[in-house]
């Protein structure tokens, strides 16, 4: 791991309205994916890429998140007394994982506004941003590749996924230019949630970023954009013009497995796929699934 970047920022202060009423009293990042909250997978991904200083941007219902990454002394004691070491280590996994810090966003004024809340903690180093409801399969490492690309080019890096043109309106879309590397493109333009007929491409920006610290200065003067929110996409658009020699913005094209756990259908798919691949569940789940699906044809 060559990168000198050590800090990861995880914005988790959105309202999660697509998942109501489950998210009425709980952040969507705490929804369980099999038996772990989605955000624990994201922290594990950051740690696997060498980033063990994690700052979470939290909003309302912050306690569930803070408690999950804290010790649970009473529960740990009870399991210890029972001699249940396996369950004890499950409880301790999340608090031992990383050095986790929290900062409040206050009003959810957009992803750009959430990232700006990390300024004091991050200082003047580059850092990674991982969206807490976007899961990248641990078998398809993306962040390490992005950190390497940042080190090589000295530039801001975003992750891109080629999506069906019919769903580009759900993402930030990038206008791109080829580079010498087939998996890396230079970003020449970005549009937040464009209609399919005006989208510059079907390259969608997904929830992983490696940002240079100059992004904070840009975000400070970024006006509210789409949906009245301060958009990270708008700040990145400005940086793509290589403002103040910040190296521009490049995209790493991701071809692996990714699940958007903030979306109901994708969430269900994530639970099924990850459970089917698990050693403790797959052997029972897969034949049941096959039978269940066969029932669709029988009507
Ligand atoms: P989303 O747009 O997916 O989150 O933001 P949302 O607004 O919570 O979702 P819905 O549409 O109402 O269901 C992408 C990421 O940015 C964070 C969210 O928590 C999510 O991880 N975010 C968004 C913030 O931290 N603060 C904000 O003001 C907005």
Share of the chain above pLDDT 90, in %: 82
Average pLDDT of the chain?
93
DSSP 58-120: E-TTHHHHHHHTS--HHHHHHHHHHT-HHHHHHHHHHHHS-EEEEEE-SS---HHHHHHTTHH
Mean pLDDT value of segment 274-293: 96
What predicted TM-score, i.e. pTM, was given to this entire model? 0.94
Query: In the predicted model, is pLDDT for residue 2 greater than 80?
Result: no
φ and ψ of 274, to 5 deg:
-70, -35
Distance (Å, whole) CA 126 – CA 154:
9
In this prediction, residue 146 carries a pLDDT of 97
Of 17, 45, 234, 262, the residue with max ligand 1 atoms within 8 A of its CB, to mutate for a pocket test, comes to 262
Share of the chain above pLDDT 70, in %: 98
Each residue's pLDDT tens digit, 190-213: 998 999 999 999 999 999 999 999
In this prediction, residue 297 carries a pLDDT of 76
The CATH number of 7-262 is 3.90.550.10
Of 111, 118, 258, the residue with max ligand 1 atoms within 8 A of its CB, to mutate for a pocket test, comes to 111
Cβ-Cβ contacts under 8 Å for 133 (sequence gap 6 or more): 12, 14, 16, 28, 29, 38, 207, 260, 261, 262
Going by pLDDT thresholds of 50, 70 and 90, the confidence category of residue 3 is low
3 state DSSP class of 226: helix
Strands 53-58 and 7-12: parallel
In this prediction, residue 1 carries a pLDDT of 45
Place of tokens 């990861």: 8
Distance (Å, whole) CA 273 – CA 278:
9
CA 226 to centroid of ligand 1, rounded, Å: 13
Mean pLDDT value of segment 27-40: 95
In this prediction, residue 299 carries a pLDDT of 66
Residues in contact with ligand 1 (CB, 6 Å cut-off): 11-19, 57, 105, 108-111, 113-114, 131-133, 262
Query: In the predicted model, is pLDDT for residue 102 greater than 50?
Result: yes
Mean pLDDT value of segment 211-217: 96
Each residue's pLDDT tens digit, 122-178: 999 999 999 998 999 999 989 999 999 999 999 999 999 999 999 999 999 999 999
Task: Give the residue range(s) of CATH 3.90.550.10 domains in the chain.
Answer: 7-262
Locate the ligand 1 atom nearest the alpha carbon of residue 113 and give its number: 28
């Amino acid at each position: 791991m060559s990168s000198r970047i050590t800090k990861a920022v995880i914005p988790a202060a959105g309202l999660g309205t697509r998942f109501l009423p489950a998210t009425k009293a709980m952040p969507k990042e705490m929804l369980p994916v099999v038996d772990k909250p989605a955000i624990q997978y994201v922290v594990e991904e950051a740690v696997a890429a060498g980033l063990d200083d994690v700052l979470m941007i939290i909003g309302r219902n912050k306690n569930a998140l803070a408690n999950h990454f804290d010790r649970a002394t009473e529960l740990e004691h009870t399991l210890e007394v029972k001699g249940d070491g396996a369950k004890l280590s499950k409880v301790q996994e999340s608090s031992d994982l990383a050095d986790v810090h929290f900062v409040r966003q206050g009003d959810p004024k957009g992803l750009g506004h959430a990232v700006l809340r990390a300024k004091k903690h991050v200082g003047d180093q580059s850092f990674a941003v991982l969206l807490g409801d976007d899961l990248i399969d641990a078998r398809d490492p993306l962040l390490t590749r992005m950190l390497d690309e940042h080190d090589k080019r000295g530039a801001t890096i975003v992750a891109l996924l080629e999506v069906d043109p019919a769903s580009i309106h759900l993402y930030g879309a990038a206008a791109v230019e080829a580079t010498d590397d087939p998996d890396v493109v230079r970003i020449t333009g970005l549009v937040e949630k464009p209609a399919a007929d005006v989208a510059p491409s079907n390259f969608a920006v997904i929830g992983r970023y490696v940002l240079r610290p100059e992004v904070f200065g840009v975000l400070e003067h970024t006006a509210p954009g789409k949906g009245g929110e301060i958009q990270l996409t708008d700040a990145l658009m400005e940086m793509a013009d290589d403002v103040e020699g910040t190296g521009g913005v490049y995209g790493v094209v991701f071809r692996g497995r990714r699940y958007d756990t903030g979306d109901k259908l994708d969430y269900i798919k994530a639970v099924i796929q990850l459970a089917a691949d698990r050693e403790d569940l797959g052997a029972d789940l897969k034949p049941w699934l096959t039978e269940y699906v066969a029932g669709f044809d029988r009507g």
